């Protein structure tokens, strides 16, 4: 598949310079067709029957395999969730931390991570998103590092594996802006969240949680999928592997859409996304104050980000502002072409 053929998968790119996969990826025609086909079957054949349930379970298994392959994990380490927030909540609830425990995080995390940290009851220590500052904040009370692999603000990358190794503290990695955007290796990471709807271009409310050692995390939010047998008291025998953390039903249609989206990714996706992001930085550098970053998010400073975002929107260029930061953010994917970037530059 050539870059131009790949691009033609996404109808939204026909009309817009869509540079916002950091929020939602573009949807491919085939992805929506997969969802549609299943919905039509549900409508006409009903949502029941052995074949129906077997297909749904099979798609869960396929989803585990596809996402595991993407990050170098085992399928048994993958829980199929609805979002990265879901994943963060599952981990924090299961760790049973208390007020005497500390979590080290950064001052530039998304609420999807911060909310669960706060809800855990542990003391949250937020430091500058810098490897030295993070390592220096670790104390004997630190039970978890909770870090984005790529910051949603500036796109800066954090050396999560190295920090895990250096500090010896378990790490929860928010992969919302890394998985699907840059090569990610789950090896050495205790917990890794994945978003299906951003860089993987999947349907809404899809995602995953990779748990290196499922046996060692308590199932704090059980669903029917968590168990293979239970007592009247609710005490249960957990399902094998990370499937025990699956937080609930996901329609066969949604799973089919996610699988199609992942299967459509060309092998040159990472290389091309990196090249496009570098090109975006290069084109923007003479025009605006681009902040340093090493992934597929390109952020730059502006006096009035909401006004600029609205003005670019009028010009058919989709970027977003990051409230409270003075930053505007453009997301470059493997589908981004020179014309998209030219439109951004022209509109600026």
Q: According to CB under 8 A, which residues from 11 to 40 bind its own copies?
A: 11-12, 15-16, 18, 20, 23-24, 26-27, 29, 32, 35-36, 39-40
Q: Note whether 216 binds its own copies by CB under 8 A.
A: no
Q: Which of residues 145-204 bind its own copies (CB under 8 A)?
A: 197, 203-204
Torsion of CA 96, 102, 106, 109, to 10 degrees: 20
Strand order in the sheet with 78-81: 78-81, 207-211, 191-195, 171-174, 142-148, 102-106, 123-127
Closest approach of its own copies to the CB of residue 276, in Å: 18
Q: How far is CA 127 from CA 108, 130, 326, 341, in A?
A: 9, 8, 20, 34
Judged by CB under 8 A, how many residues of this single chain contact its own copies?
76
Q: Specify the stretch interacting with its own copies by CB under 8 A; choose among 116-124, 136-144, 168-176, 177-185.
A: 116-124
| Residue with smaller CB distance to its own copies, 244 or 276 | 244
Tokens for 242, please give them.
């990370």
Q: For the chain, first and last CA: distance in Å? A: 32
Mapping DSSP onto H, E and C, the string for 194-207 reads: EECCCCCCCCCCCE
User: Taking CB under 8 A as the rule, which mask of x and - marks residues 269-288 in contact with its own copies?
Assistant: --------------------
How far apart are CB 229 and its own copies at their closest, in Å?
A: 10
Q: Are the beta carbons of 314 and 329 closer than 8 angstroms?
A: no
**3-state SS, residue 264:** helix
Cβ proximity to its own copies, 88 vs 160, nearer residue: 88
Q: Closest separation between CB of residue 126 and its own copies, Å?
A: 4
- Taking CB under 8 A as the criterion, the residue among 118, 141, 216, 311 binding its own copies is 118
Q: Is 44 in the site for its own copies (CB under 8 A)?
A: yes
* Under rule CB under 8 A, residue 208 binds its own copies: no
Specify the residue, 11 or 188, whose C-beta has the smaller distance to its own copies. 11
> Does 89 engage in binding with its own copies (CB under 8 A)?
yes
Shortest CB 175 distance to its own copies, Å: 17
Among 66, 86, 191, 333, binds its own copies (CB under 8 A): 86
Give the span between the Cα atoms of 24 and 259, in whole angstroms: 16
99 near its own copies (CB under 8 A): no
Based on the shown chain and the rule CB under 8 A, indicate whether residue 87 belongs to the binding site for its own copies.
Answer: no
What distance in Å separates the CA atoms of residue 48 and residue 37, rounded to the nearest whole number?
A: 16
Among 161, 205, 325, 337, binds its own copies (CB under 8 A): 205
- Rounded CA separation 348/343 (Å): 9
Structure-block tokens of residue 207: 């995602």
- Judged by CB under 8 A, which stretch of 10-18, 166-174, 276-284, 287-295 contacts its own copies? 10-18
Distances (CA, A) of 201 to 7, 196, 251: 13, 7, 17
């Amino acid at each position: 598949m050539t870059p131009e053929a790949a691009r033609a998968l996404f109808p939204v790119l026909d009309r817009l310079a869509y540079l916002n996969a950091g929020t939602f990826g573009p949807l491919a025609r085939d992805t929506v067709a997969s969802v549609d086909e299943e919905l039509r079957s549900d409508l006409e054949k009903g949502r029941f029957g052995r074949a129906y349930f077997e297909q749904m379970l099979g798609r869960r298994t396929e989803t585990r395999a596809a996402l595991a392959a993407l990050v170098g994990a085992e399928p048994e380490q993958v829980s199929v969730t609805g979002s990265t927030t879901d994943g963060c909540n599952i981990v924090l609830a299961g760790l049973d931390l208390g007020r005497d425990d500390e979590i080290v995080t950064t001052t530039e995390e998304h609420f999807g991570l911060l909310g669960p940290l706060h809800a855990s009851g542990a003391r949250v220590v937020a430091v500058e998103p810098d490897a030295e500052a993070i390592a220096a904040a670790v104390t004997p009370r630190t039970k978890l590092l909770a870090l984005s692999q790529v910051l949603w603000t500036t796109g800066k990358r954090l050396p999560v594996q190295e920090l895990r190794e250096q500090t010896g503290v378990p790490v929860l990695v928010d992969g919302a802006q890394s998985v699907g955007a840059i090569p990610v290796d789950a090896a050495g990471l205790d917990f890794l969240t994945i978003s299906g709807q951003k860089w993987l271009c999947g349907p809404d409310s899809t995602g995953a949680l990779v748990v290196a050692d499922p046996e060692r995390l308590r199932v704090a939010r059980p669903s029917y999928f968590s168990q293979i047998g239970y007592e009247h008291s609710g005490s249960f025998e957990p399902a094998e592997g990370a499937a025990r953390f699956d937080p609930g039903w996901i329609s066969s249609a949604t799973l089919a859409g996610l699988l199609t989206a992942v299967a459509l990714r060309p092998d040159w996706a990472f290389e091309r996304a990196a090249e496009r992001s570098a090109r975006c930085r290069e084109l923007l550098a003479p025009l605006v104050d681009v902040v340093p970053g090493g992934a597929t998010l390109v952020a730059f400073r502006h006096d009035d980000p909401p006004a600029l975002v609205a003005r670019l929107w009028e010009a058919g260029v989709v970027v977003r502002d990051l409230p409270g930061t003075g930053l505007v953010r453009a997301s470059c994917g493997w589908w981004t072409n020179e014309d998209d970037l030219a439109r951004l530059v022209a509109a600026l």
